[in-house]
Structure 1
Amino acid sequence: MKRARIVYGGSIHHAKEHEGNLLLDNGTLVGEEEVVWLPPVEPKTVFALGLNYADHASELAFQAPSEPLVFLKGPNTFIGHKGQTVRPADATYMHYECELAVVISKTARKVKAEDAYNFVRGYTIANDYAIRDYLENYYRPNLRVKNRDTCTPIGPWLVDAEDIQNPMNLTLKTYVNGELTQEGNTKDMIFSIPVLIEYLSSFMTLNAGDIILTGTPKGSVDTPVGAQVITEIEGLGRLANTIVG
């Protein structure tokens, strides 16, 4: 099932996809163009992976890491489908990152990889913009690179885990102004979803609503003001976003 959080009629609603429309929690059926989209889940602790695709690491002239490179993201960086991302006036290179986002379903502590999918509620799409001008270290991006307000669109749907047969074999694509600029597959992750859940839960407790952003493949290009960016993941839909000044 595809689930969403939206604003309609001045109120926040949970909704489900229904024949190309949205069925709200109060029984109202509305069109997708009639609502304001919110992140499909309210982010709690958010873990983001750096250099989790070997081709992306090579693209940046780095060796693939031997241990997951993880940083944290604050909740104010997230916006919904069709939202606007602010590009700083002094930025010379700001690029998207199409990423599979994994939403945790329940408390997880010291989980083994073979049991990890039992702790996944579902999946959504994240576009984790980075401003390279502010980057000091690819291995540990600083706050100005990865925690900027409006710089992580997420959604539009949270798709239930049982509806995705194999999350480790999904095609990812990004389009800028209608042109395909990035394409990859989750099977090329260096650290798989089960490995990441085992790794993170080995030293800290994961909670329901926590999110893991699993990294992006190669294909980063600059996104100027006015660019229309669509990130797409097989089975999860298309996340649209606009760059503004």
Structure 2
Amino acid sequence: MTTTEYRRILLDGAVVEVVREGAELVAADGRRIDAADAHHLPPVAPGKIVAVHLNHRSRVEEFGTSLPPAPTYFHKPTSSLNAHGGAVVRPAGCKYLNYEGEIAIVIGRTCRNIAPADAGAYIRGYTLANDYGLHDFRDTDAGSMLRVKGSDTLCPLGPGLVEGWDFRGKALRTYVNGVVAQEGSTDEMEWDMHYLVADIARTITLDPGDVLLSGTPAGSRPVQPGDVVEVEAEGLGRLANHIVTGPTPVRTDCGAQPTESEEVRSTALGGDWELRGIRAPRR
């Protein structure tokens, strides 16, 4: 199957959509730039970002839990968007920032009340995502995941949007400082890309550019400032980001504060923890 990869970059001060041709990115007016030298932006500008909770069977087994009868979801605000090469900020005073390598679905046509068998016609393409989680806030936001998954910079997408890509049978890997930290396959997903789109579109209209995150395999763990995290899937390239510490702590004069409870640690460490008497919760 023929694929085409589009990227959004900042080129001579303007936001430009380009096509990748080998190691180069080509604008519609003929300007060319090496992909390695480009200032990348998120490949799409979604109106909403919807993410599924558990979907990969290896993640379910890691937590010693079970899947619900149907997918459950949470929402990441668009202010959490980040891009290939961008810095992911761990706020000062927080400890448990976890990577979660995923494949993101990008909607191409307005979509509402469709069958799973028809969903492919409404998908423009796919990109890589890293659904970072700031688990220090899990005690207060475990239901909504708002601060856990929606804080600024915690949704890198990229490097490009690939049209014509077949999601079946694709390996998905996450690397931390060049070492494989997560390894899974789209074939271990309980609900595939078409099912997820159709499920959300039953009650929520999906518009062109909207993004759905399809879940992560086992192996999510905390990362530290200075770490480089990369997500890779065959045909989608390699999304790279680095971790930095925010310049100021989370304010203490309002709101819930970062915690380090048994639930926070059990989730962040994926069941690899000492408090064996506590059952690891779902992601």
Q: Which 5+ residue runs of structure 2 have no aligned equivalent?
A: 246-283
The aligned counterpart of 1:62 is 65
Deviation at 1:31, TM superposition (A): 1.0
Q: What letter matches 2:61 in structure 1?
A: S
The aligned counterpart of 1:28 is 31
The aligned counterpart of 2:40 is 37
- Counterparts of residues 126-205 of structure 1 (less than 5 Å): 126-136=129-139, 140-160=143-163, 162=164, 164=165, 166-205=166-205
Judged with a 3 Å threshold, the aligned counterparts in structure 2 of structure 1 residues 57 and 91 are, in CA distance, closer, same or farther, namely farther
Q: Percent identity?
A: 37
The aligned counterpart of 1:46 is 49
Q: Deviations over 1:101-128 (max 9, x none)?
A: 0011111111101111011100000001
Maintained 8 Å contact 2:74/2:145 = no
1:212 correspondence with 2:215: no
Using the alignment, how far apart are the partners of 1:52 and 1:100 within structure 2? Answer: 12
Q: How high is the TM-score relative to the length of structure 2?
A: 0.82
Give 3-state SS (helix, strand or coil) of 1:220's partner: coil
Q: What letter matches 1:202 in structure 2?
A: R
Q: What letter matches 1:25 in structure 2?
A: A
Maintained 8 Å contact 2:114/2:198 = yes
Q: How high is the TM-score relative to the length of structure 1?
A: 0.94
Using the alignment, how far apart are the partners of 2:68 and 2:180 within structure 1? Answer: 28
Q: Which 5+ residue runs of structure 1 have no aligned equivalent?
A: none
Deviation at 1:199, TM superposition (A): 1.1
Using the alignment, how far apart are the partners of 2:51 and 2:151 within structure 1? Answer: 14
Deviation at 1:138, TM superposition (A): 8.9
Deviation at 1:45, TM superposition (A): 1.4
86, 90, 94: which is aligned to 1:91? 94
111, 125, 145: which is aligned to 1:122? 125
Deviation at 1:58, TM superposition (A): 2.9
1:105 correspondence with 2:108: yes
> Based on CA coordinates, which of the two structures has the bigger radius of gyration?
2
Give 3-state SS (helix, strand or coil) of 1:136's partner: helix
Maintained 8 Å contact 1:177/1:227 = yes
1:6 correspondence with 2:9: yes
Q: What letter matches 1:21 in structure 2?
A: E
RMSD between aligned residues: 1.5
Maintained 8 Å contact 1:50/1:139 = no
